[in-house]
């Protein structure tokens, strides 16, 4: 929205100096500055303002929001459910912002003497939300060279909203309807850094991924004014372009993701070193879309290829392959009576040089039917534990070792079924 502010000089002296500023509460200053903008250069170009003359400038008013559903509202959009559905009614809660537009002006002898005059205009702005982001998640795709970002959008308005994203994709959101948007990013790996394509991202080691930095309470209590945008979401926002338009209300805008907060496991996928994994089950490459089924008592050969594409050497490491069974509540359990290991499930590696490839394999025999997972991790060890790990073998080697904070984990879930 654009409004025209008109200033008339009713004095007998010219106005040679005119500045415009916003005054508001300190906790909402940043929000108001994004909502109200004007061109100081345009104002200066019209000075001096002669007596009985007028000066006009445009005051642009933009709605501002973090687009996150308030915590008191039900999200109703778990990532496992359908991406096309109507949500139960969610109340609209508008945001009211108060600000004072201040004008300082002077001219003639008063300006020479250092005097100024001031007039103010009180502004009250009501912002009605259009779209909420109710849920978000991030996944690696197969080779760990791509990252998939999923966003659930809810139309909170009473009008149809047209959404354009990813350059040329379009969807329609009816009132109270929810849809999922999926964005795919590609990684690349220059020497000694880990970056999103075309943009540097600060490296975050796993030790830094804690509840104190990656806030688990990622949904705000209200439309936040004091909380700063998330630094990683700000970078992602450069590549997530979501535009909405509401033809019935003749309004449009852009959905921002700068305030999304990531859970520790999501940050782990986003920011851990990008190494290349390849897993084969009985000589067949495993992909995230693969469906493998074996029989009780059948030998399952697991071969792992790890390529260090980080550009840095990694020393004193243990590459482990561990099998676990999925139980009814979704947890994983390790029962020695259900599985037997053939060979050594953990491999001690004195050094993994940059751009080198490490291979390791072992076999499993499963004695109980059900769903099983293979967890593959390359852990860096404390120096005092190196000899101990080197001497041990068996499925618990890596779990018994002391690890540092530069672990590499295969993010593609290796899952298969054991039938009778």
Domain spans of the chain? 2-62+96-127, 131-271, 276-419
The whole-number pLDDT of residue 284 equals: 94
Question: Angle at CA 153, nearest 5°, toward 151 and 157?
Answer: 165
DSSP 169-184: EEEEE-TTEEEEEEEE
**pLDDT score for 362:** 96
**Tokens linked to 57:** 């400038």
Beta-carbon count within 10 A of 38 CB: 16
| Predicted confidence pLDDT, tens digits, the chain (420 residues) | 788 889 999 988 899 999 998 877 655 556 677 778 889 899 999 999 999 999 999 988 777 677 787 655 544 444 544 344 444 455 555 567 788 888 999 998 888 888 999 998 888 877 777 888 999 998 766 555 667 889 999 998 889 999 999 888 999 999 999 999 998 876 544 322 333 333 334 444 444 434 333 333 333 344 444 457 788 888 788 888 999 999 988 888 888 888 888 888 787 777 655 688 899 999 999 987 889 999 999 999 999 999 987 778 888 999 999 999 877 655 667 777 889 999 999 999 999 998 899 999 999 999 999 999 999 999 888 755 545 544 444 443 333 333 334 688 887 789 999 998
The reported pLDDT for the residue numbered 71 is 57
Beta strands 293-295; 414-419: pairing state: parallel
392 and 347 in contact (C-beta within 8 Å)?
no
Model confidence pLDDT, tens digit, residues 59-91: 887 776 777 876 555 444 445 443 444 444 555
By C-alpha distance, which of 188, 181, 173, 195 is closest to 148? 181
* pLDDT tens, position by position, 214-251: 333 333 344 444 457 788 888 788 888 999 999 988 88
Strands in 189-229 per DSSP E? 195-196, 199-200
Tell me how far the alpha carbon of residue 54 is from its chain's centroid: 48
413: left (phi over 0), alpha (psi -120 to 50) or beta: beta
Question: Cα(411)–Cα(146) distance, rounded to whole angstroms?
Answer: 11
Q: How far is CA 406 from CA 39, 100, 131, 347, in A?
A: 49, 51, 39, 17
| Tokens read off for 21 | 């500023």
- Residue 335: predicted pLDDT: 73
Dist. CA 348–CA 368, nearest whole Å: 30
State the number of CA atoms in the 13 A half-sphere of 365 facing the CB. 9
Confidence at residue 30, expressed as pLDDT on a 0 to 100 scale: 62
pLDDT score for 141: 67
CB 401 within 8 A of CB 381: yes
Tokens (6 digits) for 177: 């309807």
* Residue 206 phi, psi (nearest 5): -55, -30
pLDDT confidence of residue 229 = 79
The superfamily CATH assigns to domain 276-419 is: Immunoglobulins (2.60.40.10)
Residue 351 in tokens? 């050094």
CATH T-level fold of 2-62+96-127: Immunoglobulin-like (2.60.40)
Same fold, 2-62+96-127 and 276-419: yes
Buried b (16+ CB within 10 A) or exposed e, 409-418: bbbbebebeb
Name every residue whose Cβ is closer than 8 Å to that of residue 262 and which is 6 or more positions away in sequence.
Answer: 138, 214, 218, 230, 232, 233, 270
């Amino acid at each position: 929205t654009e409004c025209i502010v008109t200033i008339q000089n009713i004095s007998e002296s010219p106005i040679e100096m005119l500045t415009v500023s916003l005054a508001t509460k300190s906790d909402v200053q940043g929000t108001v500055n994004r909502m109200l903008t004007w061109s100081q250069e345009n104002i200066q170009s019209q000075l001096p303002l002669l007596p009985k003359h007028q000066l006009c400038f445009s005051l642009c008013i933009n709605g501002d929001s973090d687009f996150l559903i308030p915590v008191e509202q039900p999200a109703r959009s778990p990532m496992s459910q359908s991406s096309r559905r109507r949500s139960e009614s969610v109340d609209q809660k508008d945001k009211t912002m108060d600000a004072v537009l201040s004008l300082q002006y002077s001219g003639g002898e008063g300006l020479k003497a250092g005097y100024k005059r001031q007039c103010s205009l009180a502004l009250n702005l009501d912002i009605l939300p259009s779209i909420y982001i109710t849920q978000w998640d991030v996944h690696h795709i197969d080779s760990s060279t791509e990252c998939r970002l999923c966003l659930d959008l809810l139309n909170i308005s009473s009008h149809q909203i047209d959404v354009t994203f990813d350059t040329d994709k379009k969807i329609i959101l009816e009132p109270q309807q929810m849809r999922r948007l999926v964005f795919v990013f590609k990684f690349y790996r220059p020497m000694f850094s880990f970056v999103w394509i075309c943009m540097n991202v600060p490296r975050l080691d796993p030790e830094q991924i804690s509840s104190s930095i990656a806030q688990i309470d990622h949904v705000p209590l209200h439309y936040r004014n004091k909380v700063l945008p998330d630094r990683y979401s700000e970078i992602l926002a450069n590549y997530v372009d979501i535009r909405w338009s509401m033809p019935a209300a003749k309004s449009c805008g852009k959905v921002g993701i700068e305030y999304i907060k990531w859970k520790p496991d999501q940050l782990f996928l986003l920011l851990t070193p990008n190494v290349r994994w390849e897993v084969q089950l009985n000589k067949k490459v495993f992909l995230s879309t693969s469906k493998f089924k074996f029989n009780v008592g059948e030998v399952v050969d697991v071969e792992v290829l790890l390529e260090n594409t980080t550009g840095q050497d990694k020393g004193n490491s243990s590459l482990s392959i561990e099998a676990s069974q999925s139980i009814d509540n979704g947890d994983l359990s390790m029962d020695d009576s259900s599985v037997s290991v053939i060979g050594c499930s953990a491999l001690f590696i004195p050094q993994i040089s940059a751009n080198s490839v490490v291979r390791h394999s072992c076999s499993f025999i499963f004695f109980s039917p059900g769903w099983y997972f293979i967890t593959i991790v390359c852990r860096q060890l404390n120096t005092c534990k190196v000899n101990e790990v080197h001497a041990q073998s068996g499925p618990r080697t890596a779990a018994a070792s002391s690890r540092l904070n530069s672990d590499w984990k295969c993010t593609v879930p290796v899952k298969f079924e054991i039938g009778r």
